[in-house]
A and B are shown apart, each in its own frame.
Chain A
């Protein structure tokens, strides 16, 4: 089956620094990648949808200048949390699909971000 990896799995950073999270589709070409964040005991919240080679589409309320998304190739998308603050601490999960979004989404293992 399709495998999606995320790196790092856990990261602790200080307030004001930036953190980059990588999402890779290992055995298929991901036309579309999705970035979610999840608070404890809450459901997934879609942050943005990115298509390879084009700008990401952000959900309402998500600051595009704070959460920079780059979908540089069909196998790699990155999320950079800029000038992180403690309220950015969360579980960030990426997923990928092979077409324009009509296919099943394959999820990465997630990244636990803690901002101190």
Chain B
């Protein structure tokens, strides 16, 4: 079966750095997405990786290793507004998005 694993919840301190991991087992691979979702709102796009390596976008970076079925989202200089759920999703061979359950990130002052 297809599976996306990410931690249920993480806690970090304002101003610090946090890394949210995602491992996947899917039938084929056509890209990995990270989305941010605040409570009661729809997800918003953060990053897309299809090749191995690091993609940096401001305070957020995303890394992919296809051979390991592994990705992480790195958030730097954490702000209180970064408190949200972070969803990892993989496009399989049919271009269908397989979603992880999300990681709830709690930022403390």
Contact = CB atoms under 8 A, between A and B. Distances in A.
Contacts of A46: 96-97, 99
Interface string A35-56: 0000001111010010000000
B101 A110 contact: no
A107 B44 contact: yes
B99 to A, nearest CB: 5
Contacts of A109: 41-42
Contact of A102 (B41, B42, B44, B91): B91
A98 interface: no
A105 B31 CA distance: 12
B87 A107 contact: no
A44 B43 contact: yes
Contacts of B42: 93, 107-110
Interface string B59-94: 000000000000000000000000000010001000
Interface residues of A, number: 20
A106 interface: yes
A43 B102 CA distance: 6
Contacts of B87: 43-44
Contacts of B35: 107
15 contacts: A43-B87, A43-B101, A43-B102, A44-B43, A46-B97, A102-B30, A102-B31, A102-B95, A104-B33, A105-B45, A107-B35, A107-B44, A109-B42, A110-B40, A110-B42
A8 interface: no
A44 B104 CA distance: 14
B45 A104 contact: yes
Contacts of A105: 45, 97
Given A101-B95, A102-B30, A43 B45 contact: no
A42 B30 CA distance: 24
Contacts of B44: 107
Contacts of A41: 104
A43 B4 CA distance: 11
Contacts of A44: 43, 87, 99
